[in-house]
Amino acid sequence: MIRVSAAVASALLLSTTASGPTLAQSRPAAAPAAAAPAALLPADQWRTVAPENLMVIDTTKGRILVELDPTMAPAHVERVQTLTRRGFYDGIKFHRVISGFMAQTGDPQGTGQGGSDLPDLKAEFVFRRGRGGAFQPVVGGGEGYRGYYNGVPVQTQPDAQMFVTADMKVPAFGLFCPSTLGMARAGSPDSANSQFYLMTGRSDLLNGQYTAFGRIVGGLDVVKALKAGSEENNGAVGEGADVMTKVRLADALPEGERPSVRIQDPRSPSFVTRYEAARTAGGLTFNVCDVEVPVQVTGG
């Protein structure tokens, strides 16, 4: 996993910064424990991603699949869905890519300064988590009360706190682990528009400061293979940047060409066994980012 400095975190802002990033390599993620093969798990231990929430991003390096989670950030999901249906993202560059950290895109200018003709979005850094949804807490998963919410690592409060809130919910926010989908913004919290980024490393500095609204469910290797920029230029790629050639929602594809994605329920016994073994192996340094919720992709 990768920890990043404040200088690297600033690279996610829409405005270009002058200072370069400093990356510090830390302990690799703990190896998952042996569990029942995914194909053998009962159907009720899986959740199928709704086609309207599945982004199919074809790039010059291959295909990336991203699940959008409207329960975490409804306005951000709606914005990305709207722009995708318009064809807005077709041909747009990955203009800023920092190896071991993230790949940023969504700017039609390709500079980090642009956006769409739609108004900027209000921040959705925190959402309210009720008893619905697949949430599995993790003991020793980092600071605070952490776990997996619909497959996305989050920090939240225990369910017991729901009894003292007016809406019977508790606050939660997505954690910026490898595979997390986040929305880029300028200095103002309410300045997100069209740009987003896909995490390839872990950055605790972004937690609660940027809107997390989904995760990569296929093609993380493709994201890691995108052409990276130099550290001196804060990851600005420039000439030869990889491109999103075509971006669609799965429900816009003919049924025979539509990928189908299933995500393991993090409350399932097989997954609990998996992360418990990783936690034991990781000891005091174990973090919820160390284990990803398994995914199955078919078709497409």
Residue 33 has pLDDT above 60, yes or no: no
For position 99, what pLDDT does the model report? 97
CA 211, CA 188: separation in Å to the nearest integer?
Answer: 13
For position 300, what pLDDT does the model report? 82
CA atoms within 13 A on the CB side of 157: 15
Residue 23 has pLDDT above 70, yes or no: no
For position 40, what pLDDT does the model report? 66
For position 32, what pLDDT does the model report? 41
For position 36, what pLDDT does the model report? 52
Torsion angles phi and psi, residue 8, rounded to 5: -70, -40
Residue 17 has pLDDT above 50, yes or no: no
Torsion angles phi and psi, residue 193, rounded to 5: -140, -75
Average pLDDT of the chain? 88
CA 192, CA 199: separation in Å to the nearest integer?
Answer: 17
Asked whether the CA dihedral 125, 52, 197, 263 is positive or negative, the reply is positive
| Confidence at 39, pLDDT banded by 50, 70, 90 | low
Going by C-alpha positions, the residue among 37, 68, 65 that lies closest to residue 53 is: 68
Domains and CATH numbers, the chain: 44-298 (2.40.100.10)
- Which pLDDT tens digit goes with each residue over 98-155? 999 999 999 999 999 999 999 999 999 999 999 877 899 987 777 889 999 999 999 9
* CB-CB contact of 105 with 115 (8 Å): no
SS3 for the chain is CEEECHHHHHCCECCCCCCCCCEEECCCCCCCCCCCCHHHCCHHHEEECCHHHEEEEEECCEEEEEEECCCCCHHHHHHHHHHHHHCCCCCEECCEEECCCEEEECCCCCCCCCCCCCCCECCCCCEEECCCCCEEEECCCCCCEEEEECCEEEEECCHHHHHHCCCCCEEEEECCCCCEEEECECCCCCCECCCEEEECCCCHHHCCCCCEEEEEEECHHHHHHCCCCCHHHCCECCCCCCEEEEEEEHHHCCHHHCCEEEEECCCCHHHHHHHHHHHHHHHHHCCHHHCCCCEEEECC
Residue 239 has pLDDT above 90, yes or no: yes
For position 199, what pLDDT does the model report? 98
- Which pLDDT tens digit goes with each residue over 53-103? 999 999 999 999 999 999 999 999 999 999 999 999 999 999 999 999 999
For position 259, what pLDDT does the model report? 97
Q: What is the pTM of this model?
A: 0.88
Least confident piece of the model among 37-41, 118-122, 295-299: 37-41
For position 42, what pLDDT does the model report? 83
- Which pLDDT tens digit goes with each residue over 186-214? 999 999 999 999 999 999 999 999 999 99
Residue 43 has pLDDT above 90, yes or no: no
For position 198, what pLDDT does the model report? 98
For position 22, what pLDDT does the model report? 27
